[in-house]
A and B are shown apart, each in its own frame.
Chain A
């Protein structure tokens, strides 16, 4: 079997599995005794079944050679850039991990630097400076205009204190 078709098979399998997952979650919905003509489970079962069917269809298509080989974009695509993917993934993970404890500005700046690096930027210092200015501007815009604090950490707090204000 061709590599491309094998990838297509995985996609079909994923959709099939998603359909299965949806069927399981649909079965988990408690039966409602309410005087209703169509209960809460009917549509979820329908959607899950259709998804599973479509997944089966994709599997069949993949077994017959798949569809990826017909896509122009796939044929002349560059090889996978692992460095970029890893850096970008790290950026997203860093944001998820840091935004709670460290606040919006720091988390988003780390993300900015990593994503820019993923796309080939080599001047990390400049990116970091740019990101901090950008995120701090956004953060203060929110605090000043809407009175919304979109997640404050050490950085935001200390700058506010420098300005002689309390953290709202």
Chain B
């Protein structure tokens, strides 16, 4: 396990400068089931920054155990933190998928949902030189010949692939029929789209946003419930009943007492209400997707069902 505590630059300096709220936790252990530098790690660090800055939490101990979409770390969190009210794990939609694909015995049902914090919609893009002008053109092409339109995205079974599967299902095809070209990492996928090696691409909006702004890619539609960018329509508006986002949130270990869980939820609510959090969301370009309690648990069930349906069709669940 990788425990981190940065001494190189003392974070306490900054913390002292801002207004302090009442301390809720003297210390909190933050478990990241992924390596440093990724999206989950980024969210965990952002929580640390805001919660410590406001004095809600004294110190954070980070622990990173990466591997296999979080399924290597998850069982360790469940085993080592069981019943502890001062531990959080960052996770999200990627893990909903990886638990299903890797068929691991320990899943998100073994941890306690605390709060959903951020989300990011996928965007469907085509190269600037593409004959496809808008989402209608794209849907028509997909409906006529799903295999003829090659679509670049992240690894198979990930959010991009599931989003494509949902679109295909909505068009009356099977999720397995698309010509999905998986790339390792955003760079090679973007390069393939910019160079018009593929017909279209799907990935998180922030990954493509700058290419869209620069006019090198044409955005056709986003996959959120509402518009992520006022200029880009959603799939729903275009008559395709597909809503899928890459969401991230926090979870507590299994077996936490109800009052301990309530305290963690309250911490998330307090942090979410801080102006510093709003500021953080703005700098990072994260969409606010705050949701706690029953609503979050119900959302989690829906998300799992939707993901599982696609994964089953593409032979991964």
Contacts and interface: CB of A to CB of B under 8 A. Distances in A.
Interface of A: 30-35, 143-149, 152, 168
A75 B70 CA distance: 51
Given A145-B8, A168-B61, A33 B2 contact: no
B309 to A, nearest CB: 14
B176 A144 contact: no
Contacts of B178: 35
A139 to B, nearest CB: 12
24 contacts: A32-B315, A33-B176, A33-B313, A33-B314, A33-B315, A34-B156, A34-B176, A35-B146, A35-B147, A35-B176, A35-B178, A35-B179, A35-B180, A143-B5, A143-B7, A144-B7, A145-B8, A147-B5, A148-B2, A149-B2, A149-B4, A149-B5, A152-B3, A168-B5
B9 to A, nearest CB: 10
A30 B315 contact: yes
Please classify the interface of chain B as helix (H, G, I), strand (E, B), loop, or mixed, using the class held by over half of its residues: mixed
Contacts of B180: 34-35
Contacts of A148: 2-4
B92 to A, nearest CB: 24
A168 B30 CA distance: 12
Interface of B: 2-8, 61, 146-147, 156, 176-180, 313-315
Given A147-B8, A148-B4, 10 more contacts: A30-B315, A31-B315, A35-B176, A143-B5, A147-B5, A148-B2, A149-B4, A152-B3, A168-B4, A168-B5
Contacts of B7: 143-144, 147, 168
Q: 3 tightest A-B contacts by CB?
A: A168-B5, A147-B6, A149-B3
Contacts of A34: 156, 176, 180, 314-315
Nearest to A40: B156
Contacts of B176: 33-35
A146 B64 CA distance: 14
Contacts of B6: 147
B97 to A, nearest CB: 15
A149 B177 CA distance: 47
A35 B161 CA distance: 12
Nearest to B315: A33
A46 to B, nearest CB: 20
Contacts of A144: 7-8
B187 to A, nearest CB: 22
Nearest to A168: B5
A33 B313 CA distance: 8
A126 B5 CA distance: 33
* Residue from the set A144, A146, A152 with the largest chain B CB neighbour count within 10 Å: A146
B122 to A, nearest CB: 19
Contacts of A35: 146-147, 176-180
Nearest to A32: B315
Contacts of A145: 8
Contacts of A152: 3
Nearest to A150: B2
A168 B315 contact: no
A26 to B, nearest CB: 17
A147 B6 CA distance: 4
A34 B178 CA distance: 8
Nearest to B168: A35
Contacts of A30: 315
